Amino acid sequence: MNTFDAKHIKNIVLLGSHGCGKTTLAETMLFEAGLIKRRGRVEDKNTVSDFHELEHERGSSVYSAVLHTEWRDHKINIIDTPGLDDLVGETIPALRVADTCVLVLNAHHGVEVGTDLVWEHMSHYDRPVMIAVNQLDHPNADFDATVAQAKEHFGNAVTVMQYPVEQGDGFHRIIDLLKMTMYVFKDGGGKPEKQPIPEGEKARAEALHKELVEKAAENDETLMEHYFDKGELDEDEMRIGLKQGMMKRTCYPVFCLSALRDMGSGRMMSFIDNVAPCATEMPPKPLEDGGTLPCSPEGPTVLFVFKTMIEPRAGHISLFKVMSGELKEGMELMNDNTGTMERVSQLFIVDGKERKPVERLVAGDIGGTIKLKNTATAHTLHIPGRSIKLRPIAFPEPRLRQVIKAADQKQEEKLHAALLEIHKEDPTIVMIYSRETGEQLVGAQGELHLSLLKWKLNHHYKVDCVFSSPRIPYRETIRKSAEASHRHKKQTGGSGQFGEVHLKIEPWTEGMPEPHGHSVRGKEEIDLPTGGKLVFYNCIVGGVIDNKFMPSILKGVMEKMERGPLTGSPARDIRVIVHEGKMHPVDSNDISFKIAGLQAFREAFTMADPQLMEPIQELEVRVPADLMGDVMTDLQGRRSMVLGVDSSGRYQIIKALTPLAELDRYSTTLRSLTQGRGTYTERFHAYQAVPSELQHKLVSGYKEEEMVA
Ligand SMILES: Nc1nc2c(ncn2[C@@H]2O[C@H](COP(=O)(O)OP(=O)(O)OP(=O)(O)O)[C@@H](O)[C@H]2O)c(=O)[nH]1
Ligand SMILES: [Mg+2]
């Protein structure tokens, strides 16, 4: 196994829409460098990157995969990512550790929804960007249109480095504007022949070359002076300028490819070698304590774990980047996130599912180890001594939440354990326990993500699950006051029970005056665990109910408020005035008065114009301007109140208030209304009265359920 020093290691991540050719490109880069003797194809289920059974089944990437190639005297670590947006949990960690992003565009689709979505994520990471226009052999390939769209979507930093002389089935020649030469590929692709630029292309090549030189010169004063002096820059000067432009994100060089025909990847790899920055040239990384960590081979050994894989035999495999220093097999490191020591028992680099042992890894390189006891994705490991912790990875919030249950109740525990394991591999699968409804929810990025979760549970953990919509955390309250009384009497042999409570209930509002016409003996103001207030008054005169039974009456009232009479949802914002009652010298006890209190409250509640309250969410829906109409109509169909619309670039932001009950699987609808471009955020706004016909439906539904139960 060759060893490389930090200056000769480049880390790239392949990004782009689903099906644009990232996995095929990775395969071609390994083949072109001779690291694999035969090129696999996604359709043949034999690529290095798509090695998982699930990927073979789907015919596309589901997981990110780390591979490496060796081109000339450089090592290029490649992280291939899945293009489907639901699998963003695989893409973001890769973005975090790569030094250069290679955005792959499909020449016959141009900039796609998936491209825009991944560009959003890329914009949070400030990494240098290269653009690879792939599939130029496709009959509908259109390089110029693709570049024009890229400029429209990503700005003028998009800089043409090469262009194809022809496209479609005949594609086999690329004009390179840095080297001002033409690469001619044979049918089978591979190493091209260099030829001078044909006469017919000279004018276009010169014009584009000039643009490229100016793009290179604009990043450096010395280069600018040279350019003004000579009217030209040599290749080395251009490389310096282009590198600076990439680091400043003012230049995204565009390359031409047919990954499937193995045309163009070699030239792109040379550019990565000569121009793309290595890890030690990147800005120091921010630490949790506000400090920074430069990537230096001389620094303390620090690893950042960006991926965890669970394999039946090997167990937990942790992939990491050496952020500083040097790592040797057998080293003992401190996990700064857990405060525990970990031993790097084995050290290897990976190529898809293959693990190749190495003795050491230097700063900037990517490798793996197994069986770390207590380490997860986004953890920092370092030589003991001082605390060094890199910032956690910002995974997106779930876009879809569903209740998850084991199809067979006996497997509930197994399901729970499996979900914990899956979360370690994919931190965007999150478990959310609703204390209120007692439901176990799972948060995911979309319908596809959920279906893949189900597949993993079935195939890897042998547990079947069912998803259902989460219950809405309704609340119950009253709109007017009511009186009721209840006598609880049980005197059928043995110790009897007797308690009679008369009470009045009223809607509670902040700052309302004390009850009049009653002499208050005691008052309790309770902040309810599910929100809102209960104010409980003891207005008993003449000792008709002994004070010692007041807590039991309150207990009965609170028990009924926990599971309100309308739909079993928590009641709130009510005041209860206990003002009359009866005791029995022998049979009165706590349970009697608890039941009497509970029943009297229930009866009064049903007569106090009870109101079901529903949670209203504040939404920010981000949609392409041209698709706003449909989204607006759909929102109005969900009982929304639109507060306003702001524009942000090519998007519109709709602000609305929408009942939570109308938002089940909303992200799915929104994505289908907007061809996958629409996203939204939501947060709790307030409780609001449920419309009467809906209340009626929910209450009768609950009554039916109660009858069945
Ligand atoms: N004609 C043509 N087809 C290509 C080229 N590159 C890839 N393909 C085909 O495009 C399809 C998708 O290729 P992949 O490499 O799986 O694309 P991907 O970007 O990895 O897709 P995801 O993993 O879903 O994100 C496959 O059928 C490839 O054979 C190319 O250069 N030309
Ligand atoms: Mg792929």
Structure confidence by residue, pLDDT tens digits, 241-293: 999 999 999 999 999 999 999 999 999 999 999 999 999 999 999 999 999 99
Strands, E assignment, 269-408: 285-286, 292-293, 302-311, 315-324, 326-328, 332-335, 340-343, 348-351, 354-357, 360-362, 366-370, 380-382, 400-406
β-pair type (100-106, 679-689): unpaired
| CA-nearest residue, atom 13 of ligand 1 | 21
* pLDDT at residue 9 in the model: 96
Q: Which ligand is nearest to the CA of 91?
A: 1
**23/32 Cα distance (integer angstroms):** 14
Q: How confident is the model at residue 706 (pLDDT cuts 50, 70, 90)?
A: confident
Q: Could you tell me the two tokens for 489?
A: 């009497």
**Nearest atom (ligand 1) to Cα of 61:** 23
3 state SS of 46: coil
| CA-nearest residue, atom 7 of ligand 1 | 21
Give 67 Cα–ligand 2 centroid separation in angstroms.
13
Give 165 Cα–ligand 2 centroid separation in angstroms.
27
As to burial, measured by CB atoms within 10 angstroms (0-12 exposed, 13-18 middle, 19+ buried), residue 78 is buried
**Nearest atom (ligand 1) to Cα of 24:** 15
| CA-nearest residue, atom 11 of ligand 1 | 19
CB atoms within 10 A of CB 439: 18
Residues 593 and 489 sit within 8 Å (Cβ to Cβ) = no
Residue 35 Ramachandran class (φ > 0 left, ψ -120 to 50 alpha, else beta): alpha
| CA-nearest residue, atom 23 of ligand 1 | 61
Contacts 24+ apart (CB under 8 A), 285-294: 285/323, 285/390, 285/391, 286/390, 286/391, 287/388, 287/389, 287/390, 287/391, 288/389, 288/390, 288/391, 288/392, 289/387, 289/389, 293/323, 293/324, 293/388, 293/390, 294/324
Give 512 Cα–ligand 2 centroid separation in angstroms.
64
Closest alpha carbon to 678 in 659, 653, 655, 698? 653
- Residues measured by CB to lie within 5 Å of ligand 2, the ion: 22-23, 61
pTM of the entire structure? 0.90
Q: Report whether pLDDT(307) > 80.
A: yes
Q: How confident is the model at residue 707 (pLDDT cuts 50, 70, 90)?
A: confident
**472/614 Cα distance (integer angstroms):** 8
**Where does the chain hold its CATH 3.40.50.300 domain(s)?**
6-201+245-281
**364/295 Cα distance (integer angstroms):** 7
146, amino acid identity: T
**Nearest atom (ligand 1) to Cα of 134:** 31
Closest alpha carbon to 404 in 468, 458, 355? 468
Residues 167 and 241 sit within 8 Å (Cβ to Cβ) = no
Residue 688 host element (H or E): strand 679-689
Give 44 Cα–ligand 2 centroid separation in angstroms.
13
CB atoms within 10 A of CB 170: 10
Give 391 Cα–ligand 2 centroid separation in angstroms.
28
Which CATH number is correct for 6-201+245-281, 3.20.20.70, 3.60.15.10, 3.40.710.10, 3.40.50.300?
3.40.50.300
Name every protein residue with a CB atom under 6 angstroms from any ligand 1 atom.
16, 18-24, 41-43, 60-61, 82-84, 134-135, 137-138, 258-260
**Where does the chain hold its CATH 3.30.70.870 domain(s)?**
400-468
Q: Which ligand is nearest to the CA of 83?
A: 1
CB atoms within 10 A of CB 391: 13
| CA-nearest residue, atom 14 of ligand 1 | 21
696, amino acid identity: H
Give 643 Cα–ligand 1 centroid separation in angstroms.
43
Q: Report whether pLDDT(677) > 90.
A: no
| CA-nearest residue, atom 32 of ligand 1 | 135
Summarize the confidence of residues 129-137 as an average pLDDT.
Answer: 98
β-pair type (360-362, 366-370): unpaired
Give 402 Cα–ligand 2 centroid separation in angstroms.
28
Closest alpha carbon to 506 in 471, 478, 486, 537? 478
> Which residue of 18, 29, 30, 42 sits with most ligand 1 atoms within 8 Å of its CB, as the best mutation to test the pocket?
42
Give 436 Cα–ligand 1 centroid separation in angstroms.
46
Summarize the confidence of residues 25-35 as an average pLDDT.
Answer: 96
Give 62 Cα–ligand 1 centroid separation in angstroms.
14
487, amino acid identity: R
Give 248 Cα–ligand 2 centroid separation in angstroms.
29
Q: Which ligand is nearest to the CA of 104?
A: 1
**Where does the chain hold its CATH 3.30.70.240 domain(s)?**
613-694
| CA-nearest residue, atom 8 of ligand 1 | 21
| CA-nearest residue, atom 6 of ligand 1 | 21
- For the domain bounded by 285-382, which CATH number is listed? 2.40.30.10
Q: Which ligand is nearest to the CA of 42?
A: 1
Residues 133 and 109 sit within 8 Å (Cβ to Cβ) = no
Domain spanning 476-608: CATH 3.40.630.30: no
Closest alpha carbon to 257 in 183, 193, 179? 183
Give the CATH class of 613-694.
alpha beta
* pLDDT at residue 500 in the model: 97
Q: How confident is the model at residue 1 (pLDDT cuts 50, 70, 90)?
A: low
Q: Which ligand is nearest to the CA of 15?
A: 1
**92/546 Cα distance (integer angstroms):** 65
Q: Which ligand is nearest to the CA of 164?
A: 1
**Nearest atom (ligand 1) to Cα of 27:** 15
Q: Report whether pLDDT(219) > 90.
A: no
**Nearest atom (ligand 1) to Cα of 43:** 27
What CA–CA distances, in Å, run from 617 to 112, 126, 482, 696?
31, 33, 31, 22
Give 303 Cα–ligand 2 centroid separation in angstroms.
27
How many CA atoms does the CB half-sphere of 549 hold within 13 Å? 30
Give 106 Cα–ligand 1 centroid separation in angstroms.
9
Summarize the confidence of residues 522-546 as an average pLDDT.
Answer: 95
Q: How confident is the model at residue 468 (pLDDT cuts 50, 70, 90)?
A: very high
What CA–CA distances, in Å, run from 180 to 163, 238, 339?
11, 12, 56
- The superfamily in CATH containing domain 400-468 is Elongation Factor G (Translational Gtpase), domain 3 (3.30.70.870)
Give 251 Cα–ligand 2 centroid separation in angstroms.
26
- DSSP structure string for 170-236: G--EEEETTTTEEEE--TT-SSPEEEPPPHHHHHHHHHHHHHHHHHHHTT-HHHHHHHHHHS---HH
Computed over its alpha carbons, how large is the radius of gyration of the chain? Answer: 33
Mean pLDDT of the chain: 95
Closest alpha carbon to 602 in 613, 590, 594? 594
**Nearest atom (ligand 1) to Cα of 258:** 31
18, amino acid identity: H
| CA-nearest residue, atom 12 of ligand 1 | 19
pLDDT single digits (tens) 352-407: 999 999 999 999 999 999 999 999 999 999 999 989 999 999 999 999 999 999 99
**Where does the chain hold its CATH 3.30.230.10 domain(s)?**
476-608
Q: Which ligand is nearest to the CA of 27?
A: 1
Q: Which ligand is nearest to the CA of 140?
A: 1
Q: Report whether pLDDT(650) > 90.
A: no
Give 24 Cα–ligand 1 centroid separation in angstroms.
6
* pLDDT at residue 72 in the model: 87
> Which residue of 20, 91, 136, 142 sits with most ligand 1 atoms within 8 Å of its CB, as the best mutation to test the pocket?
20
